[in-house]
């Protein structure tokens, strides 16, 4: 068993983000379905994707910057 705490922290953060996304998607869509029906779920999913798009874009930019910094020779 390795004691790489950075790997553990990164793995934990990824799991937390995936869990939060799944809870938002499943619970949110389920509640929308209960109150508004199938048409509301489609609209809700479009709104959720539109709202999460900036978050994903910022994450991609930060990941790319991290990758570029790690590749650079110091």
The number of distinct structural domains making up the chain is 1
CB 62 within 8 A of CB 50: no
Which range of residues forms the domain containing residue 19?
Answer: 5-71
Query: Whole-model pTM above 0.85?
Result: no
pLDDT at residue 72, rounded to an integer: 85
Alpha-carbon torsion angle 33, 35, 41, 45, nearest 10: -110
DSSP code at position 68: H
- pLDDT tens per residue across span 7-55: 999 899 999 999 999 998 999 999 999 999 999 999 999 999 999 899 9
pLDDT band at 2 (very low <50, low <70, confident <90, very high): confident
Distance (Å, whole) CA 54 – CA 66: 18
Whole-Å CA distances, 14 to 34, 47, 60:
30, 23, 14
pLDDT at residue 1, rounded to an integer: 61
Kind plus residue range of the DSSP H or E element containing 73: none
């Amino acid at each position: 068993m390795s004691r790489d705490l950075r790997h553990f922290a990164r793995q934990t953060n990824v799991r937390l983000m995936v869990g939060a996304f799944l809870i938002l998607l499943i619970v949110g869509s389920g509640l929308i379905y209960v109150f508004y029906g199938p048409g509301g779920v489609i609209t809700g999913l479009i709104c959720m994707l539109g709202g999460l798009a900036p978050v994903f874009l910022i994450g991609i930019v930060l990941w790319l910057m991290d990758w570029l910094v790690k590749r650079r020779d110091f």
